[in-house]
């Protein structure tokens, strides 16, 4: 069951007019919220990022956070899986094709849930391959825009090379992955690029930095040289959690296997998730 403009209906019955500005211009934004044991993880944070994405494209938020929470809870209840990935998608609605914003046009609001698979055990045990690529996206990568053509092409570049992700470099500096944030470990210190208009402020990125309170860490710009000389590289995202990268551009990262700091952070993350599921802490603003 999906949600479209106020109703719940089976996916096969849902229809979008061809003049929807999401279809015509990619004029919209989205969110992806992981749900564990039927509880949305970090809901408040996802909804405030949604608010910022909407503000970034000057589209009024059609619902309050409380209304979103009710709709998301209903969508979860309508679907059979304990762990779900809830996809929210809002476009500037249906109007005659013209680049300028239409007047008095309601947005299109859609939510789809799908089963959320845990990260593949072999990825956690052995790590994954990534390639580097030039970050050729626009300058508002902080907006979770549905127009993802550069990300699609960059991810495919990775897949064509037998890798799972493209790690992006802009002017010699690390930004993020095609659909993930990137952490680096050098000499026992966890390093992360600072949030800016050049990367998506990941919800998982924030969780990892919170959990790094007892681990030496620095948030600062990272160079290509630092990335290539890393002892560990991790990818983070809501659907992949924390994934170790053990080969970069065909070369081993550090010892070529998931490192000690990854093991520690993976353990902290699983403990945190379990605590959230018991107490609901991850759905709060904290």
Residue 85 vs residues 35, 111, 235: alpha-carbon distances, Å:
6, 10, 18
Residue closer to ligand PMP (CB basis): 84 or 204: 204
* Shortest distance (Å) from residue 165 CB to ligand PMP: 10
Cβ(256)–Cβ(233) under 8 Å?
no
Residue closer to ligand PMP (CB basis): 101 or 195: 195
Residue 54 vs residues 49, 61, 122, 149: alpha-carbon distances, Å:
9, 6, 37, 19
Does 53 engage in binding with ligand PMP (CB under 6 A)?
no
CA–CA dist 148, 234 (Å, integer): 22
Q: Count Cβ atoms below 10 Å from residue 233 Cβ, excluding itself.
A: 28
Residues involved in catalysis: 144
**Subset of 185-204 contacting ligand PMP (CB under 6 A):** 200, 202-204
The stretch near ligand PMP (CB under 6 A) out of 84-92, 126-134, 153-161, 230-238 is 230-238
Does 174 engage in binding with ligand PMP (CB under 6 A)?
no
* Shortest distance (Å) from residue 178 CB to ligand PMP: 6
Does 237 engage in binding with ligand PMP (CB under 6 A)?
yes
Residue closer to ligand PMP (CB basis): 50 or 110: 50
Does 243 engage in binding with ligand PMP (CB under 6 A)?
no
Angle of helix 43-56 versus helix 203-211 axis, rounded to 10: 130
Contacts with 225 (C-beta within 8 Å, 6 or more apart), sequence order: none
Q: Which of 236, 246, 247, 276 binds ligand PMP (CB under 6 A)?
A: 236
* Shortest distance (Å) from residue 42 CB to ligand PMP: 8
Q: List the one residue out of 79, 83, 45 whose CA is nearest residue 65.
A: 45
User: In degrees rounded to 5, what are phi and psi of residue 125?
Assistant: -75, -40
Residue closer to ligand PMP (CB basis): 129 or 239: 239
Cβ(284)–Cβ(44) under 8 Å?
yes
Instruction: Give the ranges where the chain is alpha helix by DSSP (H).
Output: 21-25, 43-56, 65-77, 121-126, 149-160, 203-211, 224-228, 260-279
Q: Which of 2, 76, 131, 179 binds ligand PMP (CB under 6 A)?
A: 179
Does 176 engage in binding with ligand PMP (CB under 6 A)?
yes
Does 180 engage in binding with ligand PMP (CB under 6 A)?
yes
Does 181 engage in binding with ligand PMP (CB under 6 A)?
yes
Does 241 engage in binding with ligand PMP (CB under 6 A)?
no
- Chain contacts with ligand PMP (rule: CB under 6 A): 32, 176, 179-181, 200, 202-205, 236-238
């Amino acid at each position: 069951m999906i949600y479209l403009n106020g109703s719940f209906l089976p996916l096969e019955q849902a229809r979008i007019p061809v003049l929807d500005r999401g279809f015509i211009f990619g004029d919209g934004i989205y969110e992806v919220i992981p749900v564990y044991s039927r509880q949305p993880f970090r809901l408040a944070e996802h909804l405030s990022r949604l608010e910022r994405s909407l503000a970034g494209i000057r589209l009024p938020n059609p619902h309050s956070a409380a209304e979103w929470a009710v709709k998301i809870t209903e969508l979860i209840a309508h679907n059979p899986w304990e762990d779900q990935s809830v996809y929210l998608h809002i476009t500037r609605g249906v109007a005659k094709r013209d680049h300028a914003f239409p007047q008095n046009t309601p947005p299109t609001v859609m939510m789809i849930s799908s089963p959320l698979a845990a990260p593949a055990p072999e990825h956690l045990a052995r790590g994954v391959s990534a390639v580097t690529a030039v970050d050729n996206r626009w300058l508002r990568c902080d907006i979770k825009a549905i127009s993802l053509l550069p990300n699609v092409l960059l991810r495919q570049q990775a897949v064509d090379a037998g890798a799972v992700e493209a790690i992006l470099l802009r002017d010699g500096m690390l930004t993020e992955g095609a659909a993930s944030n990137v952490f680096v470990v050098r000499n026992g210190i966890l390093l992360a690029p600072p949030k800016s208009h050049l990367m998506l402020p990941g919800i998982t990125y924030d969780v990892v930095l919170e959990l790094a309170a007892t681990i030496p860490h620095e948030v600062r710009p990272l160079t290509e040289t630092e990335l290539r000389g890393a002892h560990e590289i991790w990818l983070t995202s809501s659907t992949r959690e924390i994934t170790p990268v053990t080969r970069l551009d065909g070369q081993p990262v550090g010892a070529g296997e998931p490192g000690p700091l990854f093991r520690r952070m993976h353990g902290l993350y699983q403990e945190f998730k379990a605590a959230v599921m018991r107490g609901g802490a991850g759905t709060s603003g904290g």
